């Protein structure tokens, strides 16, 4: 009996010795840092926004798969450009980089002081950009070693930015202030029970269109651009677990391009409607943003939070209702 009791005592001691290790591992798991814009494991670094060309000639684009958030904006002639935000995985090259637009100021204001990389801006817009809460990191202020020309492309869609070198020069060498990323109004969690299965969707602007189809194997919306697969420079199709169609008022601004085209502005302050596409489904949502310096709140029809899925977020700013294709209804049983 004494031997049995001794053996039991040893087992208890051994078990107790193993327990703290297990607790440490569980504790470490709970403390894994997550990026606030994607809810994925990662860092929350300084905010870098890059203005990217979105014409046919600009494709394939470089670095977008590493972005945390991508905004699609309407510009002159009904074409689109992108504002891509990076806070975690910053690729070596991003582009093609193009010039800033008035919509960028209002969109980016909710994030705080953002480092804004772009090729430049028209003279009338420059003082407005300087007055905004943005750190101007344009090609006009940086050397060709940072804003490089891709010899395989033609101007004006051949400028690439060495993003890490730009951040180092701006923050470390020049001591400029760029905010660390913070939450800007969306939450992550379970999908709405009201969401409906969606086969595909098309979002249009007067001079461009995006299509999206859910990939069950990749668990993300695969994107097309103007009817063709939207590939990045590595040949991978761009896509995202979250695609937001944000219906906004698009109006003419006092700015324009050198060809006489009027620059539109996408009004992202106020309120409106839209759609959230995630998990192969779609649900109608509302959005509210009282002022420039606060984030956008996304809610369902009953006022509860519209949860995003973990992962990258694309936000299409448009005033045109999307084309939605739902699965065909099941045939009724034969009588």
Query: Quick one: 200 and 309 in the same domain?
Result: yes
Instruction: Please give the helix or strand (H or E) that residue 164 lies within, else none.
Output: helix 163-167
pLDDT above 50: residue 276:
yes
Return the SS3 of 74. Answer: strand
Residues 217 and 121 in one domain: no
Residues 200 and 160 in one domain: no
In a domain, 42, yes or no: no
SS3 assignment, position 140: helix
Q: Average per-residue pLDDT in the chain?
A: 91
Q: Is residue 4 part of a domain?
A: no
151 and 241, same structural domain? Answer: no
Instruction: State the first-to-last Cα distance of the chain, in angstroms, to the nearest integer.
Output: 76
Identify whether residues 301 and 212 lie together within a single domain.
Answer: yes
pLDDT band at 71; cut points 50, 70, 90? very high
Residues 192-208: tens digit of each pLDDT: 999 999 999 999 999 99
Q: Do both 280 and 315 map to the same domain?
A: yes
Domain of residue 99, residue span: 48-173
Evaluate whether residue 214 is within a structural domain. Answer: yes
Q: What distance in Å separates the CA atoms of residue 267 and residue 182, rounded to the nearest whole number?
A: 22
| Lookup: tokens for 281 | 């489904």
Say whether both 167 and 207 belong to one domain: no
Number of domains in the chain: 2
What confidence tens digit (pLDDT) does each residue in 312-333 have? 999 999 999 999 999 976 665 5
In this structure, is residue 35 part of a structural domain? no
Does a structural domain hold residue 321? yes
Q: How do residues 9-20 score in pLDDT, each as one tens digit?
A: 444 444 444 445
How far is residue 252's CA from residue 263's CA, in Å, rounded to a whole number?
6
Q: Please indicate, yes or no, whether residues 54 and 121 belong to a single structural domain of this protein.
A: yes
**Pairing state of beta strands 323-325 and 80-86?**
unpaired
Asked, for residue 187, whether it belongs to a domain, the answer is no
Residue whose C-alpha is closest to residue 34's, from 168, 166, 187: 187
The whole-number pLDDT of residue 334 equals: 52
When pLDDT is cut at 50, 70 and 90, the band that residue 36 belongs to is very high
User: Considering the entire predicted model, what is its pTM?
Assistant: 0.90
């Amino acid at each position: 009996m004494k031997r049995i009791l001794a053996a039991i005592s040893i087992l208890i001691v051994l078990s107790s010795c193993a327990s703290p290790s297990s607790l440490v591992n569980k504790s470490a798991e709970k403390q894994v840092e997550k990026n606030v814009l994607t809810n994925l494991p990662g860092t929350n670094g300084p905010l870098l926004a890059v203005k990217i060309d979105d014409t046919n000639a600009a494709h394939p684009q470089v670095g977008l798969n590493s972005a945390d958030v991508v905004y699609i904006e309407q510009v002159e002639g009904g074409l689109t450009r992108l504002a891509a935000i990076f806070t975690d995985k910053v690729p070596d090259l991003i582009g093609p980089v193009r010039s800033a637009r008035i919509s960028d100021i209002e969109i980016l204001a909710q994030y705080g002081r953002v480092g804004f990389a772009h090729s430049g801006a028209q003279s009338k817009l420059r003082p407005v950009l300087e007055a905004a809460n943005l750190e101007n990191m344009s090609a006009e202020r940086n050397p060709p070693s940072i804003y490089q020309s891709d010899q395989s492309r033609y101007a004006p869609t051949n400028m690439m930015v060495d993003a890490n070198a730009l951040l180092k020069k701006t923050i470390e060498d020049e001591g400029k202030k760029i905010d660390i990323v913070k939450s800007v109004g969306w939450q992550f969690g379970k999908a709405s029970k009201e969401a409906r299965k969606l086969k595909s969707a098309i979002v249009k602007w007067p001079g461009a269109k995006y299509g999206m189809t859910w990939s069950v194997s990749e668990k993300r919306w695969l994107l097309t651009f103007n009817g063709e697969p939207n590939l990045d420079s590595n040949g991978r199709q761009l896509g995202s677990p979250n695609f937001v169609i944000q219906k906004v008022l698009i109006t003419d601004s006092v700015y324009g391009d050198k060809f006489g085209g009027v620059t539109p502005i996408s009004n992202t302050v106020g309120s409106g409607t839209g759609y959230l596409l995630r998990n192969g489904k779609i649900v109608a949502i509302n959005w509210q943003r009282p002022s420039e310096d606060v984030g956008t709140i996304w809610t369902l029809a009953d006022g509860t939070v519209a949860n995003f899925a973990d992962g990258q977020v694309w936000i299409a700013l448009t005033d045109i209702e999307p084309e939605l294709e739902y699965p065909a209804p099941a045939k009724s049983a034969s009588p």
